[in-house]
A = this chain, B = another copy of it.
């Protein structure tokens, strides 16, 4: 019981910071995107495919990890402004961490900031980070039962990207059943299909991030 009360207080405080951060970025016409998904769903690989196609001066990336900076190094190779956030083992990012990261970023010319969140289908969904859009990356190898097992993640995402479509033929994943379950939880959810590894289906996703300039 105690834990739940503490969590509630933590979440309320977090939502307040997230709301102010969103306003701060909105005033500067910067879009904040929260990229979520399970470990290995392909978030960072998808991000690499996106960065190959955009004007990198307009993008910044905040990399969330428990300890390492390997993903931040992958992203920095593209010449993009990158901030590494290490949680020292904690399972989620909080809005105050994003606030601190953004205050360290040179925002000059930035149109989109992408948060590459920690791989987790539970805790990350609970914490608003000030984002305008949530994009969840889900791979076909994760199985059909996940929307109903991890509903909050699917309920709170604006966009769902089904990744590793190249592997679907080797699995028992039923994409139509999967989409039905997602839309029961979240009728407004936009769903895209891609293979980040094979660089397929990326352009449609670009239009979400840069609807005017691309």
Q: Which A residues are closer than 8 A to B by beta carbons? A: 2-3, 6, 10, 38-40, 65-68, 70-71, 89-91, 118-123, 139, 141-143, 145-146, 148-152, 164, 166-167, 170-172, 197
User: What are some 25 contacts across the A-B interface (CB < 8 A)?
Assistant: A2-B6, A38-B40, A39-B121, A39-B142, A39-B143, A40-B139, A40-B141, A40-B146, A67-B149, A68-B148, A70-B145, A89-B152, A118-B122, A119-B121, A119-B150, A120-B120, A120-B121, A120-B123, A122-B123, A123-B123, A139-B141, A141-B167, A166-B170, A171-B197, A172-B197
The complex is assembled from copies of this chain, and their number is: 2
Contact residues in B for A166 (Cβ distance below 8 Å):
170
Contacts of A121 in B (CB 8 A): 39, 119-120
Establish whether residues A149 and B119, one from each chain, have CB atoms under 8 Å apart when the complex forms: yes
Q: Return chain B residues, CB-CB under 8 Å to A141.
A: 40, 139, 141, 164, 167
Tell me, in angstroms, the Cα distance from A166 to B119 when the chains sit together: 24
Report the minimal beta-carbon distance from A173 to chain B, rounded to whole angstroms: 10
- Our pick among B142, B152, B170 for the contact of A167 (Cβ within 8 Å) is B170
Closest 10 CB pairs of A and B: A40-B142, A91-B122, A141-B141, A40-B143, A91-B123, A39-B121, A38-B39, A38-B38, A68-B149, A68-B148
